[in-house]
């Protein structure tokens, strides 16, 4: 961890030099940080450019690859130059706990009731929804699986299965395959017996399981016919269908979803502009333009009605898709990941 800090200190020092060269940065431009790539390209068209046009507030973009250590170093180093950052739920929970973010003043960003419940957090405003889904290749399997219980049915659908390596998401999937309704999953996992039950269920499938680690692997495994079914990120499957002309199907029944959030960095001088930006990026009419560019769900309740009905069924937030979905409980994982990682590694190696 210290090594990482040193690197960050180096980066921070570099940033300091830049600031010094640029002169005193009293009136720093609003700096918005997102995840780069195709996603940020879409955000630029949908949020950043229209925001600058509408408000005449100058906006500076940056990108990052996540990691709460980066944000910690910025706040502790005392020369934080970021204002609004898009974080994953893990960074949201950890950073909020450690006081790295401003508390959200919901009046200023448009109100809690405009967004779906899981997008509301004391330190963050949810902006996109993406899912862990069951996927299979419809060119190979005609009468495909419908649920996680089918994922376990190797008699009807022979062939290997792939899951993401690690306990997170897999314990939930195992319990749902074992008949636990989504609403009961984390209550069950909170008990030792529940964790035992999840591992026993995974035991049943173990001879047929292989593990993926990077989001790019599941479409490859499906394309190569290496596995009959796999868990995957919905965006990757949509991309494979679109770009490589694949016929992969997504099973939305009991999928798992997570939300990425906007946070405001603690002590920013641009708090008012930051709130204005988040407000702008949470308006349903603005959010509704994003899914056409990249298949993520958006968090404003009213946005769903404005999205092209042709692409809506492909989105995590389509009403019938989200109805049975399970929100990944990040506080549970922050609390238990060390122990369950160890147990999972021991289990998987046996």
Partner 1 sequence: MIQAATVETTEIPALKRLLRRSQRRQQVTAIALVAPLLVFLLLTYIGPIGALLSRGILDPEVPSVLPRTTAALATWDGRELPPEVAFAALVADMREARSAGTLAAAATRLNYDINGFRSLMFSTARRLPAEIDSARDTLIGIDPKWGERETWAAIRRASGPVGDFYLLAALDLRRDADGNIVAAPEDQAIFIDVIARTFLISGVVTALCLVLGYPVAYVLATLPARSAGLLMIFVLLPFWTSLLVRTAAWVIVLQREGIVNSLLLGIGIIEQPLEMIFNRFAVYVAMTHILLPFMILPLYSVMKGIPAVHLRAAASLGAPPFTVFRRVYLPQTLPGIGAGCLLVFIQALGYYITPALVGGAEDQMISYLIAFYASRTINWGMAAALSILLLAATLVLCAVYGRLVGFGRVRPG
Q: Which of 87, 94, 265, 278 binds partner 1 (CB under 8 A)?
A: 94
Instruction: Indicate the Cα dihedral angle 198, 203, 205, 206, nearest 10°.
Output: 130
C-alpha span between 98 and 76 (Å, rounded): 11
Q: Which of 14, 99, 267, 313 binds partner 1 (CB under 8 A)?
A: 99
- Measured in residues, the chain has a length of 350
C-alpha span between 309 and 101 (Å, rounded): 37
Over the window 159 to 198, marking each residue x when it contacts partner 1 by CB under 8 A and - when it does not, the resulting string is: -x----x---------------------------------
Tell me which residues in 203-232 interact with partner 1 (CB under 8 A): 209-211, 224-226
Q: How far is the CB of 67 from partner 1 (least distance, A)?
A: 9
Q: Determine, following the binding rule CB under 8 A, whether residue 79 of this chain makes contact with partner 1.
A: no
Tell me which residues in 319-338 interact with partner 1 (CB under 8 A): 331, 334-338
Q: How far is the CB of 343 from partner 1 (least distance, A)?
A: 5
Q: Which of 29, 35, 76, 178 binds partner 1 (CB under 8 A)?
A: 76
Q: Determine, following the binding rule CB under 8 A, whether residue 69 of this chain makes contact with partner 1.
A: yes
C-alpha span between 339 and 24 (Å, rounded): 47
| Cβ closest to partner 1, residue 58 vs residue 214 | 214
| Cβ closest to partner 1, residue 41 vs residue 335 | 335
Read off φ and ψ for residue 246, nearest 5 degrees.
Answer: -90, 165
Q: Which residues lie closer than 8 Å to 16 by C-beta, 6 or more apart?
A: 79
Q: How far is the CB of 104 from partner 1 (least distance, A)?
A: 17
Instruction: Indicate the Cα dihedral angle 349, 146, 133, 200, nearest 10°.
Output: -30
Q: Determine, following the binding rule CB under 8 A, whether residue 345 of this chain makes contact with partner 1.
A: yes
Cβ neighbourhood burial of 186 (10 Å; 0-12, 13-18, 19+): buried
Q: How far is the CB of 284 from partner 1 (least distance, A)?
A: 34
Q: Determine, following the binding rule CB under 8 A, whether residue 98 of this chain makes contact with partner 1.
A: yes
C-alpha span between 162 and 233 (Å, rounded): 13
Read off φ and ψ for residue 228, nearest 5 degrees.
Answer: -85, -35
Q: How far is the CB of 68 from partner 1 (least distance, A)?
A: 8
Q: How far is the CB of 318 from partner 1 (least distance, A)?
A: 33
Q: Determine, following the binding rule CB under 8 A, whether residue 3 of this chain makes contact with partner 1.
A: yes
| Cβ closest to partner 1, residue 169 vs residue 341 | 341
Kindly state the number of chain residues that form the binding site for partner 1, as judged by CB under 8 A.
37
Alpha-carbon Rg for the chain in angstroms: 21
C-alpha span between 174 and 198 (Å, rounded): 5
Q: Which residues lie closer than 8 Å to 281 by C-beta, 6 or more apart?
A: 47, 51, 127, 262, 287
| Cβ closest to partner 1, residue 306 vs residue 334 | 334
Q: How far is the CB of 223 from partner 1 (least distance, A)?
A: 10
Element (H, E) at 196: helix 192-205
Binding site for partner 1 (CB under 8 A): 1-4, 69, 72, 75-76, 94, 97-100, 160, 165, 209-211, 224-226, 331, 334-339, 341-343, 345-350
């Amino acid at each position: 961890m210290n090594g990482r800090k040193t690197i960050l200190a180096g980066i921070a020092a570099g940033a300091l030099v830049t600031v010094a060269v640029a002169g005193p940065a009293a009136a720093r431009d609003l700096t918005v940080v997102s995840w780069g790539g195709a996603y940020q390209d879409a955000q630029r068209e949908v949020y950043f450019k229209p925001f600058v046009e509408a408000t005449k507030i100058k906006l500076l973009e940056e990108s990052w690859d996540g990691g709460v250590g980066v944000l910690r170093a910025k706040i502790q180093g005392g020369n934080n130059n970021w204002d609004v950052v898009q974080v994953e739920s893990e960074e949201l929970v950890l950073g909020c706990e450690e006081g790295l973010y401003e508390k959200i003043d919901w009046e200023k960003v448009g109100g809690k009731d405009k967004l779906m419940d899981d997008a509301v957090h004391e330190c963050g405003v949810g902006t996109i929804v993406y899912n862990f889904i069951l996927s299979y290749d419809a060119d190979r399997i005609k009468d495909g699986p419908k649920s996680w219980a089918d994922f376990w049915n190797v008699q009807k659908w022979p062939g290997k299965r792939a899951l993401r390596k690690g306990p997170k998401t897999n314990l939930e999937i195992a319990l749902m395959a074992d008949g636990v309704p989504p609403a009961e999953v984390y209550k069950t996992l909170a008990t030792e017996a529940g964790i035992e039950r999840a591992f026993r269920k995974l035991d049943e499938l173990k001879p047929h399981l292989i593990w993926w680690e990077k989001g790019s692997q599941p479409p490859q495994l499906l394309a190569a016919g290496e596995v009959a079914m796999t868990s995957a990120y919905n965006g990757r499957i949509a991309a494979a269908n679109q770009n490589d002309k694949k016929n992969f199907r997504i099973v939305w029944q009991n999928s798992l979803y997570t939300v990425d959030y906007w946070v405001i960095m603690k002590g920013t001088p641009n708090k008012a502009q930051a709130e204005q930006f988040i407000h702008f990026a949470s308006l349903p009419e603005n959010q509704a333009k994003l899914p056409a560019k990249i298949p993520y769900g958006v968090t404003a309740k009213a946005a769903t009605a404005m999205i092209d009905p042709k692409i809506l069924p492909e989105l995590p937030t389509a009403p019938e898709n989200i109805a049975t979905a399970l929100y990944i409980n990040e506080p549970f994982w922050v609390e238990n990941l060390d122990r369950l990682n160890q147990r999972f590694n021991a289990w998987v190696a046996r």
